[in-house]
Amino acid sequence: MNKQLVAITLASFFTLFILTGCQEAPTVEENPKTDISQNGKQNDLKPKTQKAVKIVKQRTTARTWSEIKASGQINAVKLDWKLESALPRAGSTGAYHTTLLQSFADSRGLKVKWHRVSNLADMFKKLSAFEVDIIPRHLTITTNRLDKYSFTYPLLRDKEVVIAKSGKQDFDEDDDNNISLPIGSAYIDSVSKQYPHWQVNIIEDHVSSQEVADSVVAGLTKYTVIDGFALETLKQYRDDIQSVFTLPKAINLAWAVNLNNDTFLHELNEFISVHHVMQMIEPERTIDFKQLRKDKLPLRVITRNSPETYFLWRGELLGFEYELMRKFADIHKVKLVIVVADSYEEMLELLAEGKGDIIAAGLSRTKARTKQITKAKLATSIRYNRVKEQLVAHQDSAQINEATDLKGRTITIRKSSSFWATAQRLATDFGANIVLANEDIATEILIAQVADKEIDLTIADSNLIAIESSFRSQIITPLTFKEDVPYSYLVRQNNPQLLAYLNEFVRKYYRGTFYNVVKNKYFYNERLQKSHNKYRLVSGSILSPYDDIVRLHVQEYNFDWRLIVSQMYQESRFDPLASNSTGAFGLMQMLPRTAAELGVKDLKDPEQAIASGVQYLDWTRDRFSKDLPVQEQIFFSLASYNAGYGHVKDAQRLARQLGLRSDRWFNNVEKAMLLLQRRQYYNKARFGYVRGREPVNYVRDIHQRYLSYIRITD
């Protein structure tokens, strides 16, 4: 960043505080934090500076099952607007409880209304105050808690483990060990009763297992305690922590409701009993589909973490392969578990060893692969998708009209790619130069390198090219080598029932309405390719048709209204009906689920859409350290708004590992964000793959436009 830009940047953020901080802040009594209204009327979306007039009578008893049924909804609580969870690789994460409670509600014809709190202690306070009916998360059943709350049948039986940084650790249970434990956690009771001679240090803030592990690795904490299941989840993507001791007493983990709420507890326990939802780390198994359903076991689908198959975006699990497999699981009423593999070879191993049941990863059916699959005693389904095999070039590169034009041109490709044979033929027959790409570099990264002129050419399938083209207008496909490359599912040969059901699923849905909607969602959406020139600005002009609404809703949150307008342009080009393929809608491109968390129903209403966007941006900002300079808080919150808070935290963690500053966005964390597109980095990240270039460009574009808006309006 040059000196002039630095000066403009500092001046702009100084202006932000002058404009938004010149009025005296209202007192807490004058400015109660009220929820956004859900009635859809514009005049009910008011800034929080107005007094709340609605008086709600506090309950003195828990709602019975009859009352819950009559209301049509279950009131549940989750942590800190938990709109996203770690990418499930195998087993379960926090999303497990949301899904399970929703299944219970669906089976009883109810909806779930989520309440949000910042820590575990506040969860129990809300339950004790009868503001919610249930805490649906893994809670250890302790003697102290049983005096105050009732618990469902256990959802998991586990043991607690002491963890430390990887490496040599001399842990002796008889020593006076210093153990750091989160405030309000059941681990405090476990340690105090089983090992009273250990020295317990209380961590005042609520922290997740990921954050506790980070503290251990950073040397801030030597030892801490987590659940064994949480450790297994962490070990799926990180190798810098280890278990050094297992507490001998097993624990039961369950959901909590209020004491004596027997009718509600009975319904929950009946659901848990019928569905056998006890979690466990599954052993290897190779049973066929009918037995799997009879035993009420989950269907384990092996796939890759990539933009074509399975990824996490703004807390939503997405991907073409994921959505098809979710439909298949729903049809057959089985739970879906995703198992993420890092390579084609690992996928085959996991399937052959009985650690998964299906491979659904956009695998093309080639002659070479068919021989390998047969040798491994695996079988392929009928074709469920077909793609073209195409050459990818930069639009400014030398023209390619036919294969003979490839003489002397360089094609970069992985040897494990299904396109390797085509590349070898082009080298032999037409004089192309072949460069081996590192096996950790995914095809989408190679396409990005072509777009950035880092490499000359690569080969990819038409589906992935369609995804990348929506973000990279510079790439072209001058040659198509194969028109009809089939994709197939893989199963074991000794699972003929599963293969038959998969083939039936393909015959019924292939090219049908559901299939086409899902395919268009990921591969043919053109929203991001459109050019918007409607609002050309001149000095003194209004910035958008919604300037006044934005000014109204930023007052409380100390945002410069011009920053929000810049973000709104980036999100929707000021189109209140804008939508994208992942379901985001409105001026601020909110997901309906996220909007519902914020109390907003009508994203078509500009005032509600803007209010929800500002509130969500404020929430993302609040989750970062207040020690960050104000401009860095803005950059990090914008990146989180675009890609999701978890991906940004992954990028901060990676930045520290690379020796970059984790408290600076430009030229530091943004570099790490770009690396999270590469397998060697994202397979060790909690939230997995992210299209890193998107949040990087998002922050830069909004920032530059914001600076322009300041010049125009000053």
Which residues participate in catalysis according to the annotation?
Answer: 571
Quote the CA–CA distance of 385 and 392 in Å, as a whole number: 21
| Dihedral Cα 435, 441, 443, 447, nearest 10 deg | -70
Classify each residue of 186-209 as buried b or exposed e, where b means 16 or more C-beta atoms within 10 Å of its C-beta: bbbebbeeebeebebeebeebbbb
Give me the residues paired with residue 298 across strands.
none
Classify each residue of 501-528 as buried b or exposed e, where b means 16 or more C-beta atoms within 10 Å of its C-beta: bbeebbeebbeeeebeebbebbbebeee
Backbone φ and ψ for 296, nearest 5 degrees, come out as: 55, 45
Closest to 434 in 3D by CA, of 458, 451, 400, 417: 458
Quote the CA–CA distance of 77 and 129 in Å, as a whole number: 12
Q: Where are the beta strands (DSSP E) in 45-184?
A: 73-79, 111-117, 135-140, 149-151, 156-165, 178-182
Angle between helices 462-469 and 443-451 (to 10 degrees): 50
Q: State the maximum Cα–Cα separation within the chain, in Å, rounded to a whole number.
A: 82
Length of the chain counted residue by residue: 714
Contact between 568 and 574 (Cβ < 8 Å) = yes
Tally Cβ neighbours within 10 Å of residue 44. Answer: 12
| Tokens representing residue 243 in the block | 């278990």
Quote the CA–CA distance of 475 and 458 in Å, as a whole number: 11
What separation in angstroms does the CA of 213 have from each of 86, 222, 231, 244? 14, 10, 9, 13
> DSSP letter string over 589-601?
TB-HHHHHHTT--
Give me the residues paired with residue 76 across strands.
114, 134
CA 539-544-547 angle, to 5 degrees, is: 100
Query: Which residue bears the tokens 């790490």?
Result: 672
Assign 159 to helix, strand or coil. Answer: strand
Strands 358-359 and 299-303, bridge-based pairing: parallel
> DSSP letter string over 450-470?
HHTTSSSBEEEEHHHHHHHHT
Computed on alpha carbons and rounded to an integer, the radius of gyration of the chain in Å comes to 27
